[in-house]
Structure 1
Amino acid sequence: MVYGGKPSTGCYLCRKRKIKCDEAQPECRNCIIYGRPCPGYRPDAVFRNETRKIERLVKSGNSASNNSSSGSNSGSQGHTPGSDSSVIVARRRHHGSIQSKPTLTLYSPADADWEQRALCYFFDQFTIQADEEDGGHLDYLPPLYAREIGRQGGNAPSSCLRWAVDATALMTLANAKNASPLMNKARLGYGKALRSLQEALASPAHAVKDETFASVVLLSLYEDISGERNGLFSSHTAGFEFLMKLRGEGQMDHRRGRDMFNFAYTHLYVEILALGDKPRFDGDWVVGMLDSNNPVERLMLTAPSISQLFTSMRRAPPPDQATVEAWIAAGLECDAELAQWTQTLPDRWLPLFVYSDQGEPLMTYNRISIALVWNYYRAVRVMLHQLLLSLHGSLAAIRMQSSFTSTFKPPITQPGDSTPETSIRATIRELTTEVCRGLPFCLSDVDSLGRPTKTVGEWQTRAAQGYGLLWPLWYLLSCGMPTLAQVEQIRTVLYRVGSKHGIKLALVLAREAERIRGEQHTEVRVVNSV
C-alpha cells in the first residue's frame, strides 16, 4: 500500500465533470444547479495497492530493454548519417506530446464536459446570491434553469431559457479561454434560443412566465458578452418594453420578478439617457410599482423625469430665451432630486474616504455592489450637468444675439467672477474624480480600508461586477471631463474587463469612447483655428 497524495475531495459528480467543487454541506452548489442529489465527498487521504502495477512495469521494462539491445545491434550494421538526429527529434516530439496538456481550443465542442464547465463558470461569474444587505445579481437563474431541464426536453416553447443559458454560458467560457469551437456552438444555441423565444412570445400562457423574461435578460447579456450589439444599441430593448408592460404589476409581487424588472428597467434607461434613444412607452405607470425605501429603486425613480426633459429638448423647434430658461429650471430641479438621494441613504451605503499605502486618496464602500450603484448615480448627474452646460451656452448665445438688436447689454464678467458654467464644470470634474477614486475598490485591488488585497489568482473581481462598471465608465470617458491620467485609468479598466472576463462590450465601448473623444478634439481645433 502506498500513499496516493492528497486527492481532490470534491463530490463524485464534480470530479467526473472536472469542475471545481465548493464541498458545501449538505450539497455542493454545482449539484444544486443541475438538480441532482450530491453523492458526497471522499476522505482527504487515499491509499492504493500498487503491487500489480509495479509488476507490470518491471515486465514491460525487461521486454523493452531486450528489444532495444537487439535493435541497437541491427541498427549498427545499417547506420545512416541522419538516423541519430531523426530518432532524437522523434523522441523529443513524443516526450513533448506526453508532457504538454492540450489547450481548450483542441477539444471538440461536442464534448459534454465543456458544456457543463461552461455552465458552472457562467453561474459562478455572473450570479451573486442575495442576502439581507445585497440584492444579488441574476441569482434567480440557477433554480429556474434546474427546474427547466428537469421538467421538459428541448422542444417546448419554454425551452428558450435552457437554450439561452447554454448559449450565454458557452460564449462566456469561450471568450475567457479564447476557444473558437465553443463560440461557434454558442452562436448556434443563440439562434435556437431566439426561435424558441418567438414561440414563447406567441403563446399568451408562456409570454408572461418568468422563464420567458429571464430568457430576454440572458439574450441581452449574450449580446454584451459577445460584443455583437447593433452599434451600441441592444436588439432586445423592444422585448424588454413589451414584457414589462405585458406582465404588469403582478411581476413586482415576488423578488424574482422584481429583480428581472429592475435589470430590464436599467437596460432601457441606459439607452434612453446615455445613447439618446427615445422611450417607446409612458414610464409614469412604473412609478407606483417601485419602492422608495429601497436605495436602488429610489434612484430608478429619478430616471423618468430626466428622460422627459431630454426628450422634450430633442423634439422642440429652435428655442427662444424663455424656453431655454424653463429647461434650465427643470434640469436644476432634477439635479436637486438626484442630490437628495445621497441624503437619505442608510449608513452602510455611504462611501469611505481612505488612503492607499502610497498615500493616494481612495473611495471605498461596504460592498462592491453599492459602489456600482454610486457610479450610476454619478454618471447620471454628469449627463444632467452636461445638459445644463449646453443650455447655458445656448442661453448666452441668445442673449448675445438679442444685444445686437436691442438696447439690452449683457453683464460683463471679470476673469475672477464665478459663472454657472464654471460651477457646472467643477461639479463634473468632481464627480469624475470620485468614480476614479473608487475603481481600485471596484476591481478588488484594495479592501474597504484601502489595503492591498491578498489574492490567490490574478484577479478576484467577478464578471458580474466588471459588467456593472461598463456604462458609467463609458459615459465619463466619452462625454465627461476626465484628466489625461483619468482617461488612461478608465480605458485600462475597460480593456481589463474585456480581456480578463471576456465581456467584449467593454472593448467596443472603449473604442467608441476613443472615437468620440477624437471627434471632440477635432471640433475644438477647428473652432480655435477659426
Structure 2
Amino acid sequence: MVYCGKPSRGCQMCRTRRIKCDETKPTCNQCQKSRRQCPGYKDDFDLVFRNETKATERRARRSSKNKRGSNNNTQIGSVNRSDASRKFSIVSNSSSNHAEIMYSTTGMDLAKIESDGNDSSSSDALGLQVAFTSPIEQQAPCYFMSNFVIIPQSGQIRGSFDWVLPLIKTEASDSALSLSFQAVAMASLANKPNARGSNLMHLAIENYAKALKVVNLALQNPVQQKADQTLASILLLGFFETITQEKASITAWGSHIDGAVQIVKMRGKKQLRTKVGVALFQSVRGQMLVNCLSSSKTPMLGADWWCADSQKDEGAAFVNRLNLQVAELRGDLNRILMTHPRSPETTELVTEIMHRALELEQEYQRWEETQTKQTVAWVDNIPGGDITKADVCPGRVDLYPDVFACSAWNFSRVSRIFIAAIVIRCAAWTCYPVDYRTTPEYAQMSRMGQEMICDIIASIPFMFGWHLDAEGRLKPGDPMSGNDATDVKALGGVYAIWPLLSVSCSDFTTDSQRLWIKGRLKFISEVMGLNQAKVVSTLQLRLPSMIVRRDNMSYAPPNVTNSVRPSGKPAIMPTLPPSISALNFQQREAMKREMWERERKAAMEKVREEQQQRQQHLGRSVLETSSGNVGGGGGGLSGIGAMNGNGLDSNVMFQYQQSKYGLGLSGNGVGNGNGMQKTGEMGLKISNEQGKKYAWLEGLGWWETTV
C-alpha cells in the first residue's frame, strides 16, 4: 500500500484555506476568528483507513484486460485443502510494476501459504499486496470481544462480559452458550453502519432461534438449569435484544432478565464460591435493577440477599445497596397507591415512604462526597446550531477515572431522580386536590432533579470517548475503539442508554436537553449498533407528572375544605448540598461555572509559582556548583579540564536533590548534544549575549549568570 503521508486532523475549512488548524473542539478557533462556519472534523476511522475499493476494482479490471493480450501475467495455481477451497493468483502489470494477490476463501480457517524461495523472492521484487478476508464466523466474535468485553487487569475490580472467555473455551459449537455467543456477536457486527443490509443479521437470528431451543431444553434439566453456561446464555440472549430490539419486541429483554433472576434464585449462595459465579451474579443484579426501576417492580428476595457478594470496592457495594433500596421503595409505593383506598392509614404509610426516601437521599449525598470527578471544560456554542447532532451539550464536561466509575455515578443519579419522583408523588397524594407543584417538596426535589440531569449530561461525552490530550485540551475519541479498560469503546453506549432514557422521560429536563438526548440515543443506535436506544428514544413519557395524574384519577376528589396535610410526623426535608439552592437553574449554572473558572485559575497560578520556585532553586544550585569548579585566567575547569574564551570544553557532573545531571558543553558556548546523558537529565549551556552570560537549563529556559 502506498504511503500518502500523515492525514491532516484539521477541520475541512482550514484544509481548504491551507492554514494550520488548532483542532479545538467542538469548533475551530481559526473559523471563529474569521467568522466562518466550522464544518467539523473527520472521523478517526476515516483518517486512518482510506476507501480503496473503487481503485482496487479499476486495477483489477485493467489487469484482466491486459491478461487477454499479454504474456506478462503470471498464474500461480490453486491450493486445495479438505476444509475449504482457496484460489490464489498474481496479476502483474508491466507498466506500473505492481502486482496484487487475489484471495478467495470459504471455511473456518485461513490456509497457510507455502511457497519456495524463488516465489518469495519474486514476490518481494514485485511488491505484492496480500489481502486476506477472514470468515464471518471469526470476524464477529473478534468484533464483539473488542467492543463489549473488558477483562479486569491486575489491581482492577470490575469488568464487562468477563465471564464469557472462561466459559466458552470448553463449549461445543452446538451448545447453548456457543449459539448464544455467535448470535450476539453476529448481530453486533451486522449492526455496524457499513455492514447493514448484509446476510449477517439473518444468520444471527438463526443462531438466536437455535440458542432459545437449546436453553429451553437445559431449563428442563435439574442439573443444567443451575449451570453457569445456562445463566450466561440467558444473559447473552438478553443482550441480543438490546442490539436488535424493535418496538414489537420491547418486552423481550425484560423476559430474559426475569428468567435470569429465577435461575440466580435457584442457584443460591453456592454460586458465589467461584469468580465466574460472582461475575454472573453481579451482571444479573445490575440488569435486574434497571428492569425493576423501569417497571416499578420490587426486587425479588430483597436488598440484603442481592448484596450477599463481598465486593472489594466498598463504595460500589454501598451504592448498590442504596440503588436496591430505592427500587424496593418505588415498588412499595406503587403497590400501596394501586391497592389501598384513600384513608388515614394509607396516608400514614405514604408519609412513611416519603421519610424513607429522604433518608436515602441523605445517604446518597454522603456517598457522593467520597467519590471523585473532574470538570474539565464548559461548552457555550454548538457548531452549526443543530443540538441534535452535537457531541457535547452546552454546559459542563466532566471526566472520570474509568467507564465503570462513571456508570456507578450515573446509576446513583438516576436513583436520586427516582427519589425525587417518589417524594413528589407522595406529596401530591397527601395534598390532593391541591396542586402538588405549589408544595415545598416539589420545589426542592425539582431542583435536585435538575442537578442530577445536568451531571448525567456532563458525563456522556466521557462515556463516548472524550478525553484530555497531552496538552490539556478536550478532544473526542473513537467510541468503537480502545485498547484497555480506560478506553470506552461501544460499551460506553450500553452504559449510557439507561441514564439517557431516565433523563429524557423526566419532568425536570428542559426542551433543549431532551433534544440533545434524543440525538445521543440516535447516535448510539446508528453508530454503535444498539437498536434499543432507538426504541426508547421514541417513548413519550413525562415522569412523575403522568404517574401523579394516574394516582389521582383512581379516586373521587374529597371535599376541598377537608383536604389538608394529615396530622402526624411532618415531612422534614434533609439538608441539601450547596449545589442545590433556592436559585433558579440558570443562576446555579452561572455560579458553578464562575466557581470552576476561579478554581482553575487558582490551580494554574499555584502550578506557575511552584515551577518558578523550582527553576530558581535549580538554577542557583547549578550556578553555584559550576562557579566552584571554574578556574581563573584562561577559563579552565579546576582539576578537570580547560575552558576557552567562549565556553566549557568538558563534562561535569553535579548533585542536585540526589539526581545527577550532565553538563554537556562545547567550546563555542552551545551545549553538545552528545554530552547529554539520558532521558530525565538536564543539560547546562553557557552563552554570551550583549555583554551578559546566560545559562540554559534544558526544559527550564535561560538564566542570567556570572560564571
The equivalent of 1:147 in structure 2 is 170
Residue 159 of structure 2 corresponds to residue 124 of structure 1: no
For 1:519 and 1:434, how far apart are their aligned partners in 2? 20
2:423 corresponds, among 383, 388, 410, to 388
Tell me how many residue pairs correspond in the alignment: 406
For 1:450 and 1:275, how far apart are their aligned partners in 2? 43
The letter of the residue matching 2:463 is: C
For 1:309 and 1:142, how far apart are their aligned partners in 2? 37
Alpha-carbon displacement from aligned partner over 1:134-175 (angstroms, at most 9, x marks no partner): 511012212322221xxx452xxxx10000000111111111
The equivalent of 1:133 in structure 2 is 156
Structure 1 residues 272 and 383, CA gap change in structure 2 (3 angstroms): same
Alpha-carbon displacement from aligned partner over 1:41-86 (angstroms, at most 9, x marks no partner): xxxxxxxxxxxxxxx999854579xxxxxxxxxxxxxxxxxxxxxx
The equivalent of 2:332 in structure 1 is 312
Indicate the structure with greater helix content. Answer: 1
Residue 415 of structure 2 corresponds to residue 397 of structure 1: no
The runs of 5 or more residues in structure 1 that have no matched partner are 7-55, 65-98, 102-106, 402-412
**RMSD of equivalent CA atoms:** 3.8
Residue 237 of structure 2 corresponds to residue 219 of structure 1: yes
- TM-score by length of structure 1 reads 0.68
1:231 corresponds, among 218, 231, 250, to 250
The equivalent of 2:290 in structure 1 is 270
Structure 2 residue matching 1:301: 3-state secondary structure: helix
For 2:245 and 2:409, how far apart are their aligned partners in 1? 25
8 Å CA contact retained: 2:297, 2:327: no
1:491 corresponds, among 510, 518, 534, to 518
Tell me the CA shift for residue 503 of structure 1.
0.5
Tell me the CA shift for residue 212 of structure 1.
1.4
8 Å CA contact retained: 2:311, 2:317: yes
1:171 corresponds, among 187, 202, 205, to 187
8 Å CA contact retained: 2:397, 2:458: yes
Residue 299 of structure 2 corresponds to residue 299 of structure 1: no
Structure 2 residue matching 1:133: 3-state secondary structure: coil
- TM-score by length of structure 2 reads 0.52
For 2:512 and 2:261, how far apart are their aligned partners in 1? 39
For 1:304 and 1:455, how far apart are their aligned partners in 2? 33
The equivalent of 1:93 in structure 2 is none
The equivalent of 1:463 in structure 2 is 490
Structure 1 residues 459 and 478, CA gap change in structure 2 (3 angstroms): farther
Q: How does 1:337-376 map to 2 (within 5 A)?
A: 337-343=363-369, 345=370, 349-356=371-378, 360-376=395-411
For 1:357 and 1:379, how far apart are their aligned partners in 2? 23
The equivalent of 1:516 in structure 2 is 541
Indicate the structure with greater strand content. Answer: 2
The equivalent of 1:507 in structure 2 is 534
Structure 2 residue matching 1:236: 3-state secondary structure: helix
8 Å CA contact retained: 1:287, 1:301: yes
Structure 1 residues 450 and 192, CA gap change in structure 2 (3 angstroms): farther
For 1:378 and 1:265, how far apart are their aligned partners in 2? 18
The letter of the residue matching 1:483 is: T
8 Å CA contact retained: 2:379, 2:396: no
Residue 345 of structure 2 corresponds to residue 327 of structure 1: no
8 Å CA contact retained: 2:480, 2:490: no
The letter of the residue matching 1:141 is: V
Percentage of identical aligned residues: 22
Structure 1 residue matching 2:151: 3-state secondary structure: coil
8 Å CA contact retained: 2:421, 2:544: no
Tell me the CA shift for residue 433 of structure 1.
0.5
Structure 1 residues 192 and 450, CA gap change in structure 2 (3 angstroms): farther
The equivalent of 2:585 in structure 1 is none
8 Å CA contact retained: 1:357, 1:451: no
Alpha-carbon displacement from aligned partner over 1:481-522 (angstroms, at most 9, x marks no partner): 11222112211111111111110001011111xx2259979x
Tell me the CA shift for residue 284 of structure 1.
3.6
The runs of 5 or more residues in structure 2 that have no matched partner are 4-63, 73-99, 109-132, 382-394, 483-487, 553-707
For 1:223 and 1:308, how far apart are their aligned partners in 2? 26
The equivalent of 2:212 in structure 1 is 194
For 1:135 and 1:465, how far apart are their aligned partners in 2? 14
Q: Which has the higher contact order (CA 8 A, sep 6+)?
A: 1
The letter of the residue matching 1:452 is: L
